[in-house]
Amino acid sequence: NFFFNNLLSLKELHLSQNQISHIEREAFNQMKSLTHLDLSMNMIFRLDISRLFRNLRKITIIKLNANDE
């Protein structure tokens, strides 16, 4: 189970500038109401987007800018 699985009605998630380097493939799978996801300015080098974002049917904005190793 992932921390975000209980946040079913969350619409926006801002995780910028948190030194995140890895995100589990199914971390956001239960967040079906999510419309905005900000992962910018972290240390993310690679994402499996086919699994990571596959259940985000309402997503309109995903920010991934300024991610470095």
The percentage of the chain sitting over the pLDDT mark of 70, rounded to a whole number, equals: 96
In the chain, the amino acid numbered 32 is K
CA distance 51 to 44: 16
Q: What is the DSSP letter of 5?
A: G
Beta strand 36-38 with 61-63: parallel, antiparallel or unpaired? parallel
* pLDDT computed for residue 69 by the predictor: 57
Average pLDDT over residues 41-65: 92
pTM beyond 0.85, yes or no: yes
Read off the pLDDT of residues 14-30 as tens digits, 9 standing for 90 and up: 999 999 999 988 888 88
CA distance 12 to 66: 19
Average pLDDT over residues 42-63: 91
